[in-house]
Structure 1
Amino acid sequence: MVQHEIAGCNVIPGCWTVQIVESCNVTYYRPFIHAEALMGIFELGSGRNLVTVTIAGKRPVAASETRSTESPSAGDHVRVSSIEASARDLQDLAVLWSIGEARATDVVGAACEALVAGLDSPALRILAACTRGEAEYDVPDLLPAALDELGLTFYPRDSEAGREAAVRALADQMLAGRLTPRELALRIHQRFGHQLPLAERLAELDDEYDILEYGDRTPAQIDAEVTAEARRLASGAGNDPIPRS
């Protein structure tokens, strides 16, 4: 009886449950989030690095507010580190999205995590409230505003600065353990070829992986060189690669 009459039945006849959830998001939840964001605008005024007040009374902060000259307590240090990490992740996801290396839904997920960590702005709230179906259409409009309000940088799609920032973001991902050295070199090579001076050495190292069986180098040696190059890029160094070993 349970299998035939209960399992899989719809909440409203003729509508899948997922349709009801999506409709609730579009017709109720998102207007609520939008109204809440507008309340923050009217209360505090608009502008760069906008700080808003949540309904719960918590005072969120923009990315630039996490830098203080005062000595923080242990709890404050953990919170500041979490906020800075969330801001960095949002910035990285934004730049990877701008070159097609991340999905719009990934950006929405990073916006949600940033809100949870304590970052806040009107556009960030609306961005975090996007559904999967809305993300592709809304992220291009909401992301620049959210980054601007948080004091972060928006890179236009396929801009030179955006491509270089994306290389550094991918290097960060490898150093964080989200990519292997081989995967980093491959993604850089596939995305930029040998056309981007900043990433030229990684593209060359991807070629070296392909000819390992014909040379005298080991995978571990190339991995080490990719890792060193990733550290150089993540540190913000310029276009001069580490000398070849």
Structure 2
Amino acid sequence: MTEADPLEVAAWLMAIGRLASEDLPEIAAEALVRGLDSPALRMLAGQARSDVRDSSDLFRAALDELAIKLPDADKAQWHLARRTAGEIVTGRISAARGANELWLAYHKVRDNGDLRIFVGLASTLDDRPEDVEQIEAAIVAAARELLDRPAPRRWIKLMAVPRRSPLTQTMAPDDIEVDPETLPLSDGLRSNLAQWQTYFETTLSGWPASGGFDSEHDAESFVAAGQRLVLQLQDELGAGYHVEYMPEPIRPPGVKLRARSNR
């Protein structure tokens, strides 16, 4: 991962509202020392820390003059998350501290599925202090994997739910329903998804008063069909997506068997 210039990092912090105006003159002065230069940057560096009424406008102008893009808040959060991952890998910050920072970022990034692993690892550190070395090694490995992705993947979930699309996208704390027609899928896969969903709705119609799988074998077959769909979805959507599966239970007491099977 190429190290971002501190001026670019400051732009990310501005995008998420974490950059204090009184710090901008010093940030500009340090950028001039590093060899960056522009009219607005020089004006900003000359401002007094106590008089920064137009510092934000000057900072934005300097970024424009230096061809540094000011991202939206979500992209800025992702850039900062990858920066934290880089600091974990290089040892600039501890694995534990980095995982906790990425846990916080998880709640702020829209497409946050790729940060989910750090939530689990950070919480495991608290629960299993005797395994700290192995967990910290897993954090570093996950950080390296995160650095391999210049952009977050869209996390798509397959789950059979009555009267709803079987696909949802994980976005921040929510799962947003996704119409298969809006995804780059083949007509054949869309048809298979529709048939799988229709079979589920037909089988479970009237549940719990009526309906249900005839046997555990039928439930297992339905789950296996969903697993095949997940593989097909991942293949067609490609590396920019991660497809996960929330299957029906295939063993009692969770499996929804017909009432006569329980007599």
TM-score normalised by L of structure 2: 0.47
Larger % of helix: which? Answer: 1
TM-score relative to the length of structure 1: 0.50
Higher strand share: 2
Which of structures 1 and 2 has the bigger CA Rg?
Answer: 2
